[in-house]
Structure 1
Amino acid sequence: MTKEALYDSLNYVNHSREKRSEMAQLILQNPNLVRPLLQIAFDVDDPISNRACWVMEFTAKEHLDYLLPHINMFIKNIHRVHQDSAVRPIAKICEFLTLAYFSKTSNPVQQTLNTSHLEKIASSCFDWLIGDHKVAAQAYSMTCLLLLGRKFDWINPELKMVLEQNYPSGSAAYKARARHTLAKLK
């Protein structure tokens, strides 16, 4: 399948889990499509890019290792994503990566991600946490930053400050996740 054919196929993907899962199955059966999917996902001003991000999230959930050969491309571009419907799945993929990196079970993510990658994930997560984004992306960011605080000493004080500052104006869901995160920071 060409990039153009993949792009056309994404026109038929909607927000339903069924459609996203169907397209992710196509990617899982053809891992060579991960790179063109990422190229479409990071064409951030194209409305189809959101759909590519949704599919990439489902693909990463099933086989995170399919993303690893393209990790530099992924990390280099995550800060560019700005549409809410794309930020959420990208933040979720960052959470998958961070959870795998800090897993007690040895895995390929631990050998692939380097300090620079982790710093860029942290920077993007702080941007999503501080910016005007929906609570799901902020919740995934809190999880990432909490874990990344194990590696980078500067993160925990910054995370605590941001959560305490934004807590009063946060939604009920934001407050619940912030309470959970703050409790783990103590």
Structure 2
Amino acid sequence: MEIRNILQEMNTSLASRENAAKILIGRPRLIQDAVSLLNENETKLSIKALYCLEILARKDIDLLMDQLKHLTHYAKTSENSSANRCLAKIFSLATEKDSLAGKTSYLPSEIKESIMETSFSWLIREESIAVKVFSMQTLWDLRCENDWIAAELKAVLQNDFPGASAGYQSRARKILRKLNHEFSDKI
């Protein structure tokens, strides 16, 4: 079954997205084809591909490891909020796995750098709350990669906190507590 057929049959319900993702499991060529669709100008299929890839990442982020470079490249130019939400969740799952890996890094440094740049970009520009929340978590997970990440993340969150939505404030509060705890431990 071709990826276009799978995605055309898929709707936005969770059950439908999960069924499409199940078809892709164990079929790296279909996963690659889904990622390749992102470079085409078919927005509806691209969004459906990302919906499916996000579910795949939730099941096992390792299934997308070979495609992260392409996903980070696509994220740099994506202006679609739905696409960015899916990408932000995928990046959050990847960086969470990397941070849990400890000294053995899960992600290559160029992927981490690209995810970090994109996450900061999403955090400071006009984006949906979900994209910003996933970006906060991603940057928290990447804070040890460069000394300045934690300080910049803290500054952005403190600056945006007063006028932000309740969802933004809730996640920002949790991350700010962790950041403040880390900063006080270093003193």
2:4 paired with 1:7: yes
Aligned equivalent of 1:171, options 165, 173, 177: 165
What does 1:1-186 correspond to in 2, within 5 Å? 1=1, 5-43=2-40, 46-104=43-101, 110-111=105-106, 113-186=107-180
Once the two structures are overlaid, the 10-residue window that deviates more, 143-152 or 77-86, is: 77-86
CA separation of 1:41/1:146 partners in 2, compared to 1, >3 Å: closer, same or farther? same
Q: CA deviation at 1:76?
A: 2.3
**CA shift for structure 1 position 178:** 0.8
State the identity as a percent: 28
8 Å contact from structure 1 (residues 42, 80) kept in 2: no
Task: In structure 1, give the amino acid aligned to 2:67.
Answer: H
Offset, 1:168: 1.6
1:158 and 1:105 map into 2 onto residues whose CA distance is 22
- Give the residue type in structure 1 aligned to 2:97: A
AA of the residue aligned to 1:49:
S
How big is each residue's C-alpha offset from its partner over 1:50-100, in whole Å with a ceiling of 9 and x where there is no partner?
A: 111010011111122121223322232221222111111110000111011
Q: Structure 1's 41 and 178: CA in aligned 2 closer, same or farther, altered over 3 A?
A: same
TM-score (ref. length: structure 1): 0.89
How far off its partner does 1:42 sit? Answer: 4.1
- 3-state secondary structure, aligned to 1:49: helix
Output the CA distance in 2 between the equivalents of 1:124 and 1:166.
Answer: 18
TM superposition shift of 1:106: 8.1
Q: CA RMSD in A?
A: 1.8
**3-state secondary structure, aligned to 2:86:** helix
Structure 1 residue 45: deviation in Å?
Answer: 5.9
C-alpha separation in 2, matches of 1:45 and 1:25? 23
